[in-house]
Amino acid sequence: MSDQLWHWPAGAATGIGSLPGTDIAEAQRIVLGELPALPHLPELPARGPGADLIGRSAGLLVELPVELYAARWRIAPRPGKDLRRARDLMERDLDQLAEQAEEYAGPVKVQAGGPFTLAASLELPIGGRMIRDPGAVRDLAGSLAEGLRGHVEAVARRLPRAWVLLQLDEPSLPAVLAGRVPTESGFGTYRSVEAEVARALLRDVIEAAGVPTLVHCCAPDVPLELIRSAGAAGVALDLALVTDLDPLGEAIDAGLGLLAGAAPALPPSGGRAPSSAQLADRVRKVWDQLGFPRRRLPEQVVVTPACGLAGATPAYARAVLAACRDAGRRLAEE
């Protein structure tokens, strides 16, 4: 394993991003209270267009305006009200973060859609997803890289005692690589993106951000080697979707941090959130199967929910974040 300086304290836990509700002040209080070692900027998609993953992330693009058309985000000829709303929501969220975490000293995580998930979702003005046009994908990645650099700087200005971690949400990356992104008709799929092209563009975005970057993918077949070799500091995934441990073990051994999605994003049939002991056992079991020393676990692994919690009840979401926090502490104390 290569030498690695972890960008979070031992026994840390964090959220993936989204939470239920529409009150950003309350959401930020919950995050700072339940996840003191690695808080994140919460996302509240229930607020509507511009607060969703695609609209919120597209609002960060530079010189590539977007608009809503038939309930879908597409590239627009000029900035308009939809883009202003997305940017206003983000600005309010950052102001709230600065107000509540002004004296915070430690790592703080912000999230944005990655270039391939955006390319698989945003539509071209002439129709069709951006992923159909390799030139458009390159332009999108460049615009996103510049926008994320500015976004990270804006967070750092507001929290001068903290250091920023960036999370790129890439749930569509496996489908993009495998040529499984459906066309609008539903009768076909777009051509796959070559792994080398994807690696290079993802690396460009990560390097431009200028801070340790994590890639989140809550889908099967996470391309772990591509993510690691693109320069990511860590990967966030759903442990329940990991069917082959060998690639995960190789990535961890090569120095990739793991945000281990151990708690279900939606309540199980009984409705109760898992306990911290259950989450710690789940993470520990996977780690032991990988064959790594227990002493490395709390340093290299961050306990998280399996995915965003926007679809859960507020009570369940808060209980899950608290259970992740206490599970991380349990693992650190062993």
Say if residue 201 is exposed, middle or buried (CB neighbours under 10 Å; 0-12, 13-18, 19+). Answer: buried
- pLDDT tens figures, 255-314: 999 999 999 999 988 778 999 999 999 999 999 999 999 999 999 999 999 999 999 999
- pLDDT tens figures, 85-113: 999 999 999 999 999 999 999 999 999 99
Which pLDDT does position 270 carry in this prediction? Answer: 74
- pLDDT tens figures, 206-250: 999 999 999 999 999 999 999 999 999 999 999 999 999 999 999
Q: Within 13 Å of residue 11, how many CA atoms lie on the same side as its CB?
A: 13
- pLDDT tens figures, 50-86: 999 999 999 999 999 999 998 999 999 999 999 999 9
Alpha carbon distance 231, 205 (integer Å): 10
Alpha carbon distance 94, 41 (integer Å): 8
- Smallest CA-to-CA distance from 61 within 141, 176, 166 is with 141
Q: How far does Cα 100 stand from its chain's mean position?
A: 22
Interacting residues of 170 by C-beta distance below 8 A, sequence separation 6+: 113, 114, 116, 117, 215, 216, 217
Interacting residues of 317 by C-beta distance below 8 A, sequence separation 6+: 19, 20, 30, 309
pTM higher than 0.85, yes or no? Answer: yes
Alpha carbon distance 275, 154 (integer Å): 36
